Amino acid sequence: MTRRMIIPLLFGVVGVAILLSLGFWQVQRLQWKEAVLAEIDARIGAAAVDLPSTPDPVADKFLPVKATGVLTGEQLDVLVSRKQIGAGYRVIAVLELMDGRRVLVDRGFLIEAARGLPREVTTLSVEGNLLWPDEVDGFTPAPDAGRGIWFARDLPAMAAALKAEPLLIVARTETGDGIEPMPVDSSAIPNDHLNYAVTWFLLAVVWSGMTVLLLWRMRRKVE
Percent of the chain surpassing pLDDT 90: 66
**Helix, strand or coil for residue 63?**
coil
- Tell me if the pTM is above 0.95: no
Q: Which residue has better confidence, 43 or 90?
A: 90
DSSP assignment string, 105-137: EEEEEEEGGGTTS-----EEEEEEEE-------
Q: Are residues 147 and 83 in contact, defined by beta-carbon separation less than 8 angstroms?
A: no
SS3 content of the chain, % helix, strand, coil (to 5): 40, 25, 35
CA 15/CA 7 separation, integer angstroms: 12
Q: What is the mean pLDDT of residues 67-95?
A: 92
Does residue 84 register a pLDDT over 80?
no
pLDDT band at 218 (very low <50, low <70, confident <90, very high): confident
Q: What does R_g of the chain's alpha carbons equal in angstroms?
A: 27
* Host H or E run for residue 66: strand 64-82
Q: What is the mean pLDDT of residues 194-208?
A: 94
Q: Are residues 129 and 44 in contact, defined by beta-carbon separation less than 8 angstroms?
A: yes
Instruction: Write down the mean pLDDT value for the chain.
Output: 91
Closest Cα partner for 69 from 159, 164, 160? 164
Give residue 71's Cα distance to chain centre. 27
**Helix, strand or coil for residue 9?**
helix
pLDDT at 1: 55
Q: Are residues 33 and 193 in contact, defined by beta-carbon separation less than 8 angstroms?
A: yes
CA 120/CA 130 separation, integer angstroms: 25
**Cβ of 117: how many Cβ atoms within 10 Å?**
11
- For 191, counting Cβ atoms within 10 Å of its Cβ (0-12 exposed, 13-18 middle, 19+ buried), the class is middle
Q: Write out pLDDT tens, residues 110-162.
A: 998 898 888 898 999 999 999 999 899 889 999 998 888 999 999 999 999 99
Strands 64-82 and 86-97: antiparallel
Q: Are residues 64 and 47 in contact, defined by beta-carbon separation less than 8 angstroms?
A: yes
